[in-house]
Structure 1
Amino acid sequence: RKTECDIRMRLPWVSNEHCKIEINENKEAVLTNLSTVNPTQLNGVCFEQPVPLKHGDVLTIIDRSFRFEYPLQSTPKKRRSRSPKDETLQVI
């Protein structure tokens, strides 16, 4: 609910800082619960220690659920050009 938060939920039961998601040095997203009154759940389970997030995980705050979307980087696909010598890589 704090104005400094990137995502704000204006519900009275949500803590000022309920949870946080950080990207660590290995480019992994890590979820930390910051609320003791109404703990954040990950895939329906409460947790005490920071946990790494995986693509498709669902985090729940009170009665609101959010799916975490962080797909693995896709590999560039080759696109044919008019000249067989020239190839263009397109990142999708």
Structure 2
Amino acid sequence: MAVIVTFEFSGAGQELYDTVIERVTDGRGFTQFADLPNTGLISHAAGPVDGGFRVTEVWESVEALEHHAKTFGPILEDLGQADVQPTIIPAHNVVVR
């Protein structure tokens, strides 16, 4: 079952987001996040919100998200964001154009 995942980074901005993406793509032969083979990722959107930065993703399953977290978790921990816990809800409907 598809899930919608939202990360809220209070007090953080685009600089943190860009640093995470840079670390994920570095050394893997990719220059942007969209080119990574994130198996199970349906959509990804990120942007500023009052007091922070938000990332919202749709994954094919919780298992796909958990596999992906093995890459991002250590990076977020290294950047002092290990305590950020995502909100995960079942997707009732997903439209991708």
Same fold (TM over 0.5): no
Q: Which has the higher strand share?
A: 1
Larger Rg: 1
Q: Which has the higher contact order (CA 8 A, sep 6+)?
A: 2
TM-score, normalised with respect to structure 2: 0.29
Structure with a larger share of its residues in helix: 2
TM-score using structure 1 length? 0.30
